[in-house]
């Protein structure tokens, strides 16, 4: 008497989705890997960056709902600019906290890029568009939208390119010293700082004539910032190149001087720092072409150095 055959196992074999050569086999489905756990502290800090971007967008939207209240509208734009800076703080901290706690992961890097797109891509573009359209009523809305779109496209392409290019650097001792193209937080800092500078000095009876040039520069600067983000100009990683490790006494004095200026003149100092940083890449490249690269200036090849394993490729994308 023959026994009945055993029923087939409904579960696919471990290699069901691929053959011996690693290619997918027809009729078989590969299972996606599941992310079971995430690191709590770095993820919370990165999510703080996400919420900062959302709040900035929310403030801009709310500003359009109070067109009859100038003071309230200006306050909302100021709040939007400040939460963009809060997002920068979160963006700076999340990668460093991840390394200090040994929690760096590809999940954190991907989440960081998504957060940067919201806080440093979409939010600054909407903020600049809103302020420019309100200041210059004759500025056509379609033109203002086009200028903001160029900025957003530049930010998205810059972040995607950064992710692809940084993946090739796998050495644990790699330290990012130079960015190819203006980092998206740097571009967002230009927008936010100019909005704050306008709010502080370009309104009321203080220096009213300063408002128009600032906003004209802000509106015209949106496509320029978008192009700088996708350029190949070299921009230094400020934290790793100038603030990390041992420095000379002169560097410490200059750092303290910058802190004092920010404390006593925060709006003008922030605008000068971010605008100067955005212009540094093309100005150094132009100087190098005609006069040679200064010893203190950065170069794209500087990013191939390897130093302490505490370096990061996940900050200030």
Q: What's the confidence (pLDDT) of residue 313?
A: 43
Give the separation between CA 255 and CA 239, rounded to whole angstroms: 12
Question: Is residue 215 scored above 70 in pLDDT?
Answer: yes
Q: What's the confidence (pLDDT) of residue 298?
A: 65
pLDDT digits (tens, 9 = 90+) for 252-310: 887 888 888 888 888 889 999 999 999 988 988 888 788 776 665 666 655 544 444 44
* pLDDT classification of 205: cutoffs 50, 70, 90: very low
Q: Please name which of 186, 192, 122 lies closest in space to residue 315, comparing C-alpha atoms.
A: 186
* pLDDT classification of 101: cutoffs 50, 70, 90: confident
Q: What's the confidence (pLDDT) of residue 310?
A: 42
* pLDDT classification of 21: cutoffs 50, 70, 90: low
DSSP secondary structure of 106-171: HHHHHHHHHHHIIIIIIHHHHHHHHHHHHH-TTS-HHHHHHHHHHHHHHHHHHHHHHHHHHTT---
Only one residue has tokens 């496509």, namely 223
Residue that wins the pLDDT comparison between 107 and 105: 107
How far apart, in Å, are the Cα atoms of 174 and each of 105, 180, 244? 16, 16, 14
Average pLDDT rounded to a whole number, residues 87-101: 84
- What is the average pLDDT value for the chain, to the nearest integer? 79
Report, in angstroms and rounded to the nearest whole number, the Rg of the chain calculated over CA atoms.
24
pTM of structure: 0.79
pLDDT digits (tens, 9 = 90+) for 220-250: 899 999 999 999 898 887 776 666 666 667 7
**Does residue 147 contact residue 193 with C-beta atoms inside 8 Å?**
no
Question: Is residue 38 scored above 60 in pLDDT?
Answer: yes
Token pair recorded at residue 76: 């909302």
Residue that wins the pLDDT comparison between 140 and 190: 190
Average pLDDT rounded to a whole number, residues 93-112: 78
Token pair recorded at residue 82: 């400040």
Residue that wins the pLDDT comparison between 161 and 302: 161
Question: Is residue 63 scored above 70 in pLDDT?
Answer: yes
């Amino acid at each position: 008497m023959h026994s009945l055959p055993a029923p087939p196992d409904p579960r696919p074999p471990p290699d069901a989705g691929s053959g011996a050569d690693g290619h997918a086999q027809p009729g078989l489905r590969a299972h996606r890997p599941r992310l079971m756990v995430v690191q709590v502290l770095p993820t919370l800090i990165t999510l703080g960056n996400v919420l900062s971007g959302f709040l900035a967008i929310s403030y801009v939207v709310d500003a359009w709902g109070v067109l009859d209240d100038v003071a309230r509208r200006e306050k909302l734009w100021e709040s939007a600019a400040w939460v963009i800076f809060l997002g920068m703080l979160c963006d700076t901290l999340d990668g460093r906290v991840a390394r200090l706690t040994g929690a760096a992961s590809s999940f954190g890097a991907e989440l960081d890029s998504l957060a940067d797109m919201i806080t440093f891509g979409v939010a600054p573009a909407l903020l600049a568009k809103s302020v420019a359209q309100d200041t210059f009523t004759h500025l056509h809305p379609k033109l203002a939208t086009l200028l903001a779109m160029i900025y957003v496209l530049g930010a998205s392409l810059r972040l995607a390119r950064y992710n692809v290019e940084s993946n090739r650097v796998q050495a644990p001792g790699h330290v990012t010293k130079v960015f190819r193209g203006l980092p998206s937080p740097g571009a967002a800092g230009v927008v936010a700082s100019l909005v704050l500078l306008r709010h502080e000095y370009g309104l009321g009876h203080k220096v009213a004539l300063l408002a128009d040039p600032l906003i004209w520069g802000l509106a015209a600067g949106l496509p320029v910032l978008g192009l700088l983000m996708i350029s190949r100009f070299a921009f230094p990683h400020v934290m790793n190149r100038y603030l990390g490790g041992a420095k000379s006494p002169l560097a410490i004095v200059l750092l303290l001087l910058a802190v004092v200026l920010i404390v006593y003149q925060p709006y003008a100092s922030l605008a000068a720092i971010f605008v100067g940083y955005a212009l540094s890449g093309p100005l150094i490249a132009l100087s190098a072409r005609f006069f040679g690269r200064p010893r203190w200036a950065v170069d794209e090849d500087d990013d191939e150095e390897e130093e302490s394993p505490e370096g990061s490729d996940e900050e200030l994308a």
